[in-house]
């Protein structure tokens, strides 16, 4: 492993890139220990702080983990679905909040993807997935639930629907779309009336999944999307005329 000492970017960027390439290409395999920081600074002919900055960059992406002590060091990390989920969620959330993505755009993306899962979920969902969904519907019907708690339950419900497809890659992709919507959803005030409507639709979805009726799931999701967009539109209207 060597780097170009003069040409383009900062040294720590180059070193991070070099190690990243080694991991992606498979020259460094999972759980393999990297040379110690002292050895790396020798190899790359840079100081230890520079090596450390490079390692911190990789750690921030969950590509390595570090451990102190005699047998410690930096190890190539197996990127778990959990790690990937949370990175995906952070990125998606920031992307939406920093780029002023409209509610309509985010909502459309989310429900399009979710409907893609629904067909598979109707086929493969287990009793467990259904039980989770029923439990969340029950929770959503509780009086005195805060809007945040209602939203959180909504996310759990939809994740169960997605997980029912039995495809972890799909679940990972959807995690971002569903969870990144949450800050936007939290701006909605859910009245008792609108909660009722949503629960009706949730029940339709659960019932349809129960009898493995993909078309009915899809149709209920379309209705749910339409209703969600209507709610958001009402909020926007209220904001424009706050006195009325």
Shortest CB 76 distance to DNA, Å: 13
SS3 at position 133: helix
Q: Where are the beta strands (DSSP E) in the chain?
A: 64-67, 73-76
The Cα 223–Cα 229 span in angstroms is 10
89 binds a second copy (CB under 8 A): no
Shortest CB 7 distance to DNA, Å: 11
The Cα 60–Cα 87 span in angstroms is 10
- Residue placing its CB nearer to DNA in the complex, 73 or 166: 73
33 DSSP 8-state letter: B
Alpha carbon 201 to its chain's center: 24
28 binds DNA (CB under 7 A): no
74 binds DNA (CB under 7 A): yes
The Cα 212–Cα 130 span in angstroms is 11
Q: Which residue has the tokens 């909605």?
A: 188
Task: Say which residues have a Cβ less than 8 Å from residue 77's Cβ, sequence separation at least 6.
Answer: 30, 62, 63, 64, 65, 83
Shortest CB 4 distance to DNA, Å: 11
170 binds a second copy (CB under 8 A): yes
109 binds a second copy (CB under 8 A): yes
Please select the residue that binds DNA; options are 23, 28, 52, 158, rule is CB under 7 A.
Answer: 52
The Cα 185–Cα 93 span in angstroms is 12
For residues 179 to 218, the per-residue mask of contacts with a second copy, x marking binding by CB under 8 A and - elsewhere, is ----------------------------------------
Confirm if 113 and 107 have CB atoms less than 8 A apart: no
Q: Near DNA by CB under 7 A, which window of 6-14, 173-181, 186-194, 204-212? A: 6-14
Q: What is the largest CA-CA distance in the chain?
A: 71
Please select the residue that binds DNA; options are 4, 10, 31, 123, rule is CB under 7 A.
Answer: 10
- What is the footprint of DNA within residues 136-195 (CB under 7 A)? none
Shortest CB 75 distance to DNA, Å: 9
- Residue placing its CB nearer to DNA in the complex, 11 or 160: 11
- Residues within the interface to DNA (CB under 7 A): 10-12, 34, 36-38, 45-50, 52-53, 55, 66-74
């Amino acid at each position: 492993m060597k780097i170009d000492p003069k040409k383009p970017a900062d040294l720590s960027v180059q070193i991070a890139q070099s190690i990243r390439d080694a991991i992606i290409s498979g020259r460094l395999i999972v759980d393999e220990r990297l040379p110690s920081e002292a050895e790396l600074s020798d190899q790359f002919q840079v100081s230890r702080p520079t090596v450390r900055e490079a390692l911190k960059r990789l750690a921030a992406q969950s590509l390595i983990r570090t451990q102190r002590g005699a047998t410690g060091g930096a190890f190539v990390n197996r990127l778990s679905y959990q790690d990937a989920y949370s990175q995906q969620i952070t990125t998606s959330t920031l992307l939406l909040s920093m780029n002023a993505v409209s509610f309509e755009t985010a909502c459309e993306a989310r429900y399009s993807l979710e409907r893609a899962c629904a067909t598979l979920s109707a086929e493969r969902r287990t009793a467990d997935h259904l039980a989770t969904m029923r439990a969340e519907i029950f929770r959503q019907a509780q009086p005195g639930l805060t809007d945040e708690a209602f939203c959180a339950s909504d996310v759990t419900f939809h994740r169960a629907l997605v997980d029912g497809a039995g495809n972890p890659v799909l679940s990972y992709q959807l995690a971002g779309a569903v969870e990144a919507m949450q800050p936007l959803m939290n701006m909605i005030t859910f009245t008792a009336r609108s909660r009722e409507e949503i629960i009706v639709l949730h029940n339709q979805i659960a019932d349809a999944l129960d009898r493995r009726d993909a078309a009915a799931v899809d149709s209920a999701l379309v209705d749910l999307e339409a209703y969600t967009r209507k709610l958001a539109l009402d909020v926007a209207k209220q904001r424009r005329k706050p006195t009325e």
